[in-house]
A and B are shown apart, each in its own frame.
Chain A
């Protein structure tokens, strides 16, 4: 069965520092991979997605993620954190062969210190 593991339920960085949120997945076939962001009392908003094109994917708000098949990882990065990046981040994998249902990770709460 597919699964998604997000390492660290809470990550804290200083404003201007590198943001690195980790995501590892298990899938028997090449998957679609997604990162979503959720601000307080809001729904989930798509940040970026990997769908078997370029392995380095750029998203909104300066975020990017790299698909590494050998490591089964899809870590999310941003070179310089901004206060407005404080939110909950979810990694998700979609098994193309099983109707495309998304399997979500547990979420990582990102705090940004001034």
Chain B
């Protein structure tokens, strides 16, 4: 248990479904991140929230919609996904300004779009 909890661990959804991924941390961190990790590809940073404000959105399609209601929770809302969106979605948290602790990652949600 890392202190960052992601649910669900596995998700299979059809292209017309709407689902949400949840991330929760109680480490006292004030920044949270969504990453996409596809097979044989580097980690892709999707969204960054710092002090509950979205500070980065790396050209992610609008079918991915993040939400950060408070510094402990982060959601990724999914709708009308494509098969190429199948991947491991990782949440991470950290302190800003940085204190040298790096990021703490959750175990990820394995998403399969059928």
Contacts and interface: CB of A to CB of B under 8 A. Distances in A.
B97 A43 contact: no
Interface in A22-63: 32, 34, 36, 41-46, 49, 51
A6 to B, nearest CB: 10
Given A41-B110, A42-B108, A43-B107, A100 B2 contact: no
A104 B102 contact: no
Contacts of B101: 49
Category for how many chain A residues contact B: 20 to 34
Interface of B is mostly: loop
| Interface size classification for chain B | 20 to 34
Contacts of A74: none
A99 B96 contact: yes
Interface stretch (B11-19, B42-50, B63-71, B73-81): B42-50
Contact of A99 (B42, B90, B97, B104): B97
Given A90-B43, A107-B42, A41 B88 contact: yes
Report, nearest first, the 9 A-B pairs whose CB atoms are least far apart.
A100-B98, A51-B100, A43-B105, A44-B105, A43-B107, A34-B102, A106-B42, A104-B43, A43-B108
